[in-house]
Amino acid sequence: MKNKKLIWSVFVVTVLFACVTIISCNKKFDEPPAFVNPNVKPNITIAAFKTKYNPGTSAVLITGNDTLSGIVVGDDKSGNIYKQLFIQDASGGICLSLDGTNLYTNYPVGRKVDVVCKGLYIVNKNGFIQLGNIDNTNTFVGIASTLFVNYLIRDTLYSRAYVDSNLAKTVTLAQLTTNNQSMLVRIENAQINTTDTSKTYADTSAAKNSTKINLNDACGNTSSGYMYNSGYANFAGIKVPKGNGTFFGIFVPYNSDKEFMIRDTADVKLYNARCGSTGGTPPPAGVLTVSQLRAMYTGTDVILGSNTTKGIVIANPSNLSAGNLIIQDGNMGIDLYFGSTAPTTNFAVGDSIVLDITGGKLTNYKGMVELSLAAAQLPTAKAGTGKTVTPVAATIAQINSNLGSTGTGSLENIVLQIVSATVSGTGTTYSGNQTLADASGTIVLYTNATYTALAGATMPTTCENWVGYANRYTTPQFQIRTTSDATAGTGCSTTPPPTGGTGITLTTSPTTLDFNSLASGFPTGVSVYTAATATAFGTAVTTAPAAQTWGYVSTGFFNYASGTGLGASASTTVQGAATNRALGTRQTGTTDIGQAFVFQFTNTTGKTNFAMNFQLQSLDSSSTRTTTWRVDYGFGTAPTTFTQATNVTGTLTTGNSLFTNNNVNVAFGNALDNQSGNVWIRIVELAATVGSGTRATTGIDDVKFTWQ
């Protein structure tokens, strides 16, 4: 059908809007008259009627008292069919050309209509027969809406389901001839030609061009049809389904082309696996729970069939990238993306929504499962408001591990509570990426800078409990909705172990850390802490150690010249030029207890009999107090107990007005053998320094691990 819709669209919309306004203002008086059984006697079938008048390209006047009776099989509700109705009886179908809009309000699919044809005109344009009128230049036109009452008589109303199952005959594309035109037909084993499977139903640009979507049947063995979809259809922007299945459409010949008009996307039930493909289980049709939706995503994009889903909005859209909503349904959540200009900020945390997800795409967005939908699928109204979702308690380590692989994370995008965690990072407000830490690990706490209500708020410096949701933006992140998602907590155990590292490589024994490249950061698997205790790592110091001289008296972890080969009196210039470096720390009153050097191995699978050798250097002979070090070890993601190594030889003190380079050997026996998880070794000082005056500058160098 080649409707010339565009030129008239502005005019029509204006008139339509005026009509709607008037109707809604005068509803009581303008309602159509109640249905009365019409006193008309249809006496000709549609097929016989078309044969009787056998129209050509010039419109033919209906001279006989012929009355047709057919059931509407296609109406204008979705905007795809325009100023036309298709009616069908047992013999065939015909298109009624009607100069009116919202025809479906009086003549919806399923409405039986008796057409008193005398005085109307019938025409055949390019093989397509229409019944209508002519204007004063003898041009074929639709029947004026004021004249509908003269020609169209409303009869019994049937359901769309009745129409689809009783009127739509199953055909193949090859069987269809012009005699079958304007009938609703059903085609099995249909699928959209791969040339068109990534298209939307029609053009969504301002041009709103109609679009041909090529359709095959017999699983693609034949090719001779297409959907012809209007850019004005309310489904124009929805992606076509890619599967095989049942197709319903109104057959409209256009010369030798087999063109189909669909009523809406429910006519395109192409959600079985594509013929001949091994594409896995096809998505089920139906009202899908978020849990079912997530289960469909197994690593490759999935295009959904006709269906709906529902959920409660759990994230403030202002804290998301534009056009997203996150909903939770039961114990599962999902991110919905409607395109960056969709007005998702119309929704708030606690609103519930129900939405059509037909043609939606389940995909992987930066490691998160996303359901990508057309903007038109964003509901215009809320289904409910004020809903609450009970948070699920989780530790940061559990969240990080759960979000590990796209699609499998059951904690992704649901309301979570992280108990006893502290936030730290850049600046004093939430804006941007901050670090949230509990006893198990750390995660990025992200707040969109443009969401000023939260981004501009001051971060708490105290121990808090945190309600929010987690997902991945390449790496895991946690987001809260408002400042009240953080409430006072207790028992924050300072800082978690280093995360994400690959640990020290244990390819061949021995492996040695010489610290000569400290200027470019910590070696892999090495980290340093303050405030370490017997049961906790303490507070991680993540800034790269700056080069410093031995006598520098402010606390911190530094990149020193190694004590190996230099004497106590080496000048600051000599120290600065030294290429042999050591990792070290200067203690002060605030760091009297708890400085630690930590080494991580992600596993010791297949390895036994670990030993460690290192140089413990006392680098500032003017420091009078004595610090005593020990070596201990722990296991797992976040050990809360450490075992002191006992088979240790060498001097484990620094300071005491000495410049020393002590060789220390530690034999772990079988204690570290064959661990499938993390193994941590610390050189740590857990007791107060002894003496008075200044505290030590302590370096470690040439840390060597051996095993069998």
φ, ψ for residue 175, nearest 5 deg: -75, -20
**676 is a contact residue toward ligand NAG (CB under 6 A):** yes
Give me the 266-285 binding string for ligand NAG, x by CB under 6 A, dash otherwise. Answer: x-----xx-x--------xx
CB 665 within 8 A of CB 650: yes
Measured from the CB of residue 266, what is the shortest distance to ligand NAG in angstroms? 5
For 677, residues 6+ apart whose C-beta sits below 8 A from its C-beta are: 602, 603, 635, 636, 637
User: Residue 340's CB: how many other CB atoms inside 10 A?
Assistant: 11
- 3-state SS class at 374: coil
Measured from the CB of residue 177, what is the shortest distance to ligand NAG in angstroms? 5
**223 is a contact residue toward ligand NAG (CB under 6 A):** yes
Nearer to ligand NAG, 405 or 605 (CB): 605
User: Residue 280's CB: how many other CB atoms inside 10 A?
Assistant: 12
Length of the chain: 708
CA distances from 478 to 436, 439, 444, 468, 497 (A): 8, 16, 6, 7, 19
Q: Name the DSSP letter for residue 179.
A: G
**218 is a contact residue toward ligand NAG (CB under 6 A):** yes
The encoded tokens of residue 306 equal: 């006709």
Give me the 454-493 binding string for ligand NAG, x by CB under 6 A, dash otherwise. Answer: -------------------xxx------------------
Interface residue with ligand NAG among 147, 219, 383, 547 (CB under 6 A) is 219
Give CA torsion, residues 45, 49, 52, 55, to 10 deg: -150
Measured from the CB of residue 448, what is the shortest distance to ligand NAG in angstroms? 4
CB 401 within 8 A of CB 366: no
**367 is a contact residue toward ligand NAG (CB under 6 A):** no
Nearer to ligand NAG, 44 or 436 (CB): 44
Interface residue with ligand NAG among 14, 126, 150, 433 (CB under 6 A) is 433
Helices vs strands, H then E, count in the chain? 9, 48
Q: How many residues bind ligand NAG (CB under 6 A)?
A: 61
Give me the 309-348 binding string for ligand NAG, x by CB under 6 A, dash otherwise. Answer: ---------x-xxx--------------------------
Interface residue with ligand NAG among 571, 647, 663, 674 (CB under 6 A) is 647
Angstrom distance (rounded) from CA 651 to CA 120:
111
Nearer to ligand NAG, 23 or 275 (CB): 275
Nearer to ligand NAG, 142 or 282 (CB): 282
**667 is a contact residue toward ligand NAG (CB under 6 A):** yes
Give me the 60-89 binding string for ligand NAG, x by CB under 6 A, dash otherwise. Answer: ----xxx-----------------------
Nearer to ligand NAG, 588 or 605 (CB): 605
**307 is a contact residue toward ligand NAG (CB under 6 A):** yes
Q: Which of residues 148-207 bind ligand NAG (CB under 6 A)?
A: 169, 171, 177, 179-180, 183, 188-189, 193, 195, 203, 205, 207
Interface residue with ligand NAG among 3, 9, 145, 209 (CB under 6 A) is 209
Segment near ligand NAG (CB under 6 A); pick from 8-16, 80-88, 209-217, 525-533: 209-217
Interface residue with ligand NAG among 286, 343, 404, 521 (CB under 6 A) is 286
Q: Where are the beta strands (DSSP E) in 474-517?
A: 475-479, 486-488, 511-513
Residue type, 351: D
Angstrom distance (rounded) from CA 259 to CA 224:
9
Q: Sort 153 into a burial class: Cβ within 10 Å, 0-12 / 13-18 / 19+.
A: buried
Give me the DSSP letters along 123-174: EEETTEEEEEEE-TTS-EEPEEGGGHHHHEEEEEE--HHHIIIII-EE--GG
Segment near ligand NAG (CB under 6 A); pick from 241-249, 400-408, 528-536, 538-546: 241-249
Nearer to ligand NAG, 125 or 212 (CB): 212
Interface residue with ligand NAG among 26, 58, 410, 605 (CB under 6 A) is 605
Nearer to ligand NAG, 52 or 125 (CB): 52
Angstrom distance (rounded) from CA 200 to CA 31:
37
Q: Look at the alpha carbons of 292, 294, 299, 302 in this order and tell me if their dihedral is positive or negative.
A: positive
φ, ψ for residue 466, nearest 5 deg: -125, 125
CB 495 within 8 A of CB 532: no
**413 is a contact residue toward ligand NAG (CB under 6 A):** no
Binding footprint of ligand NAG on the chain (CB under 6 A): 43-44, 64-66, 169, 171, 177, 179-180, 183, 188-189, 193, 195, 203, 205, 207, 209, 214, 216, 218-221, 223, 244-246, 266, 272-273, 275, 284-287, 306-307, 318, 320-322, 432-433, 444, 448, 450, 473-475, 503, 505-506, 602-603, 605, 647, 667, 669, 676
